[in-house]
């Protein structure tokens, strides 16, 4: 939707554009940019300090999701935790009897991990509505509080019920913050910084996972309460979010949308460092006046186009391609099996023959590969195009999954305890994670936002976030029983999905790199198979369609 070089500057897609948030079109972007150059008063120390706070907020919002994805695998493999909540699992682990693939196969153990996403999915949808009604700051504050209370509940737990209730509360925090943080950042930061701050958000998810895995390695061996410290440390980003909300104002966009124009202008002047006071009677610089007018127009346009957004997405024939992508891309992303590794890495590596500590160390190595390859994605997405990256990442994942399945079968049948094969498995899983992190990881968030039109963008991103969290829950719940019954075949199961999703993407997805927003609809409608739904209607409306052959 955006020209290649514009896109680096745009509030980017990812989780970011999340439910209910409008991504600026290239047209609006260029209008605003010339103003932004004038507005940015970075020489002003106070403005820089404020920017520093935005960056911390960005980090914390991403951390909540990432930390949670990374922490539970280690915690639920730790002996003290198992002894307290799942004594049968612990005794089967200790006895060494039965299949190594079934040691952790306990529905409630899975539920504790995956329950977070059960509440995160609806919370992300609800967050869009709450952000419009009560403002971004209130929702962010609520997400920090929910996460804080949830953290206190899980870290102090002595019963499984308390654990699950705590995880459900954490899910509310994750759902709300995944939606509200990028929106807040995009709206409050100077235009020139928006893209970078949103990229920070995405990156910090992977850094959150990595941080949790590193802490698990250091903490889980501490007496009986190491797992409690690992879980309790989730309170740090939550507290920082709450502190940030106390110190930072609500966004000018949100204030305008709720009819508080005078306050919005005062906040804008304060944020840009171009006026001295916060009071509404301050005389504003011409730059702030100009930016305020642009914002106000943009909010009014957005409000009118967002009306009936969900309705349009689900009922209009020509929105059907977008609706399918918003459901299928996150669904396929989860069925790469990535979260089987993020959630249950230690259990997987123990099944492949590693000890407790070695398996935690392997997770840290994998976490660092995940972070590194996400950097790669930021660079490659605008260089190679989405479809090529989808393809390259899928081939990498497919090959590694196939070879891992073969090696695990070898360990099981002929080479039990072979450390070289175990090391090769870790190396291959690193390759798998790297393939995911530069392709399906970020692109399954980016592409749905690029395919949207003005009237369905917010609903589309809400649907994408919901679907992603829902299938994260499904994988979290289903993986351990699958590993128990399918053993090495579980890798082939995910490999099968990688083939299906690659065919789907290569055959039906138009390349969106370098395409302007207003051309995307024509591009989709000119391509197979979507043309049957929308071609005629668009041509009737005078929108030029671009013919694209199937399966290029």
Please state whether the peptide bond connecting residue 529 to the residue before it is cis, i.e. omega within 30 degrees of 0: yes
What is the enclosing helix (H) or strand (E) of 35? Answer: helix 26-39
Quick one: which of 160, 533, 120, 82 has its CA closest to 350?
Answer: 82
Please, which residue, 71 or 257, has the CB nearer to ligand BGC? 71
Give me the least distance between CB of 386 and ligand BGC, in Å please: 15
Listed ranges 51-59, 122-130, 333-341, 387-395: which one lies at the site for ligand BGC (CB under 6 A): 333-341
Give me the least distance between CB of 206 and ligand BGC, in Å please: 5
Quick one: which of 400, 352, 392, 397 has its CA closest to 376?
Answer: 392
Q: Write the CB contacts of 172 (distance below 8 Å, at least 6 apart in sequence).
A: 119, 120, 123, 143, 146, 150
How distant, in Å, are the alpha carbons of 48, 161, 252, 276, 362 from that of 288? 18, 52, 11, 12, 51
CA-based torsion, 139, 446, 196, 393: positive or negative: positive
How distant, in Å, are the alpha carbons of 207, 291, 302, 332 from that of 458? 27, 23, 10, 21
Chain residues 486-545 in contact with ligand BGC, contact rule CB under 6 A: none
Give me the least distance between CB of 421 and ligand BGC, in Å please: 26
CA-based torsion, 145, 47, 178, 22: positive or negative: positive
Please, which residue, 66 or 510, has the CB nearer to ligand BGC? 66
Give me the least distance between CB of 338 and ligand BGC, in Å please: 5
Give me the least distance between CB of 548 and ligand BGC, in Å please: 27
Ramachandran sector of residue 308 (left: φ over 0; alpha: ψ -120 to 50; beta: rest): left
Listed ranges 95-103, 174-182, 334-342, 520-528: which one lies at the site for ligand BGC (CB under 6 A): 334-342
**Residue 298: CA count within 13 A, CB half-sphere:** 21
CA-based torsion, 218, 118, 177, 159: positive or negative: negative
Please, which residue, 26 or 339, has the CB nearer to ligand BGC? 339
Give me the least distance between CB of 426 and ligand BGC, in Å please: 17
Please, which residue, 186 or 333, has the CB nearer to ligand BGC? 333
198 and 186 Cβ atoms separated by less than 8 Å: yes
Give me the least distance between CB of 370 and ligand BGC, in Å please: 5
> What span, in angstroms and rounded, lies between the C-alpha atoms of 470 and 291?
39
Please, which residue, 123 or 370, has the CB nearer to ligand BGC? 370
Listed ranges 83-91, 165-173, 331-339, 516-524: which one lies at the site for ligand BGC (CB under 6 A): 331-339
Chain residues 424-443 in contact with ligand BGC, contact rule CB under 6 A: 441
Give me the least distance between CB of 18 and ligand BGC, in Å please: 11
Give me the least distance between CB of 117 and ligand BGC, in Å please: 9
Query: What three-state secondary structure class fits 541?
Result: coil
Q: Rounded to an integer, what is the distance from CA 502 to the centroid of its chain?
A: 21
Q: What character string, x for contact with ligand BGC (CB under 6 A) and - otherwise, covers 262-291?
A: ------------------------------
Q: What character string, x for contact with ligand BGC (CB under 6 A) and - otherwise, covers 336-365?
A: --xx--x-----------------------
Please, which residue, 69 or 186, has the CB nearer to ligand BGC? 69
Give me the least distance between CB of 64 and ligand BGC, in Å please: 13
Taking CB under 6 A as the criterion, the residue among 177, 439, 468, 502 binding ligand BGC is: 468
> What span, in angstroms and rounded, lies between the C-alpha atoms of 183 and 197?
11
When asked if residue 370 is in the footprint of ligand BGC (CB under 6 A), the reply is yes
Please, which residue, 298 or 467, has the CB nearer to ligand BGC? 467
Chain residues 69-108 in contact with ligand BGC, contact rule CB under 6 A: 69
Chain residues 187-216 in contact with ligand BGC, contact rule CB under 6 A: 205-206, 209
Give me the least distance between CB of 311 and ligand BGC, in Å please: 27
Please, which residue, 393 or 441, has the CB nearer to ligand BGC? 441
Q: Which long-range contacts (CB under 8 A, 24 or more apart) does 382-389 make?
A: 382/4, 382/5, 382/7, 382/8, 382/513, 385/511, 385/513, 385/514, 386/443, 386/446, 386/447, 386/450, 386/509, 386/511, 386/512, 386/513, 387/505, 387/506, 387/509, 387/511, 389/438, 389/439, 389/443
When asked if residue 472 is in the footprint of ligand BGC (CB under 6 A), the reply is yes
Quick one: which of 450, 469, 467, 407 has its CA closest to 432?
Answer: 407
Quick one: which of 62, 426, 363 has its CA closest to 218?
Answer: 363
Please, which residue, 248 or 505, has the CB nearer to ligand BGC? 505
Please, which residue, 69 or 143, has the CB nearer to ligand BGC? 69
Instruction: Specify the residue for token string 């590194």.
Output: 372
Q: Write the CB contacts of 369 (distance below 8 Å, at least 6 apart in sequence).
A: 430, 433, 434, 437
Give me the least distance between CB of 339 and ligand BGC, in Å please: 5
Give me the least distance between CB of 312 and ligand BGC, in Å please: 26
Please, which residue, 47 or 472, has the CB nearer to ligand BGC? 472
Q: What character string, x for contact with ligand BGC (CB under 6 A) and - otherwise, covers 42-71?
A: ---------------------------x--
Count of residues that bind ligand BGC according to CB under 6 A: 12
Structure tokens at 100: 């190594």
Please, which residue, 242 or 328, has the CB nearer to ligand BGC? 328
Please, which residue, 60 or 209, has the CB nearer to ligand BGC? 209
When asked if residue 477 is in the footprint of ligand BGC (CB under 6 A), the reply is no
Please, which residue, 124 or 266, has the CB nearer to ligand BGC? 124
Q: Which residues bind ligand BGC (CB under 6 A)?
A: 69, 205-206, 209, 333, 338-339, 342, 370, 441, 468, 472
């Amino acid at each position: 939707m955006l020209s290649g070089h514009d896109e680096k500057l745009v509030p980017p897609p990812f989780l970011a554009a999340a439910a209910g948030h409008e991504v600026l079109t290239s047209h609006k972007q260029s209008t605003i940019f010339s103003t932004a150059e004038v507005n940015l008063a970075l020489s002003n120390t106070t403005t820089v300090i404020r920017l520093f706070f935005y960056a911390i907020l960005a980090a914390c919002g991403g951390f909540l999701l990432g930390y949670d994805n990374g922490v539970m695998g280690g915690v639920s493999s730790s002996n003290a935790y198992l002894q307290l909540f799942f004594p049968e699992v612990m005794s089967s682990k200790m006895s060494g009897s039965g299949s190594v693939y079934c040691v952790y196969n306990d529905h409630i153990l899975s539920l504790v991990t995956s329950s977070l996403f059960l509440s995160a999915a609806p919370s992300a949808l609800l967050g869009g509505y709450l952000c419009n009604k009560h403002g971004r700051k209130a929702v962010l504050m609520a997400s920090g509080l929910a996460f804080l209370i949830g953290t206190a509940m899980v870290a102090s737990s002595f019963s499984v019920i308390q654990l699950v209730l705590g995880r459900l509360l954490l899910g509310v925090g994750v759902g709300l913050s995944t939606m509200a943080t990028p929106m807040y950042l995009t709206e409050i930061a100077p235009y020139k910084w928006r893209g970078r701050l949103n990229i920070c958000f995405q990156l910090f998810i992977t850094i959150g996972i990595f941080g949790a895995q590193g802490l698990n390695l250091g903490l889980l061996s501490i007496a009986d309460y190491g797992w409690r410290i690992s879980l309790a440390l989730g309170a740090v980003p939550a507290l920082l979010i709450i502190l940030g909300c106390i110190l930072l104002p609500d966004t000018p966009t949100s204030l305008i949308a709720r009819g508080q124009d005078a306050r919005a202008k005062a906040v804008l002047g304060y944020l840009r460092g171009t006026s001295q006071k916060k009071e509404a009677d301050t005389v504003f610089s011409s730059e702030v006046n100009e930016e305020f007018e642009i914002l106000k127009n943009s909010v009014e346009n957005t409000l009118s186009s967002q009306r009936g957004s969900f309705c349009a997405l689900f009922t209009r024939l020509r929105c059907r391609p977008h609706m399918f992508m918003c459901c299928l891309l996150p669904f396929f992303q989860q069925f790469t099996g990535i979260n089987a590794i993020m959630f249950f890495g230690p259990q997987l590596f123990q099944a492949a023959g590693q000890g407790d500590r070695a398996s935690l160390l392997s997770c840290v190595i994998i976490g660092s590969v995940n972070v590194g390859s996400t950097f790669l994605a930021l660079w490659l997405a605008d260089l190679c195009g989405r479809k090529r990256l989808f393809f390259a990442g899928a081939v990498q994942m497919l090959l590694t999954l196939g070879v891992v399945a073969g090696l695990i079968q070898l360990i099981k049948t002929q080479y039990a305890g072979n450390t070289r094969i175990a090391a090769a498995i870790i190396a291959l899983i690193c390759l798998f994670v790297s393939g995911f992190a530069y392709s399906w990881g970020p692109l399954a968030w980016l592409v749905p936002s690029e395919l949207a039109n003005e009237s369905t963008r917010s609903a589309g991103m809400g649907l994408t976030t919901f679907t992603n969290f829902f299938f994260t829950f499904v994988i979290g719940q289903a993986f351990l029983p699958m590993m128990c019954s399918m053993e090495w075949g579980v890798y082939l199961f995910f490999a099968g999905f990688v083939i299906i999703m690659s065919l789907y993407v290569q055959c039906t997805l138009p390349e969106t790199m370098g395409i302007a927003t207003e051309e995307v609809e024509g591009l989709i409608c000119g391509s197979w198979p979507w043309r049957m739904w929308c071609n005629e209607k668009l041509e009737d409306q005078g929108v030029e369609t671009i013919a694209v052959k199937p399966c290029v």
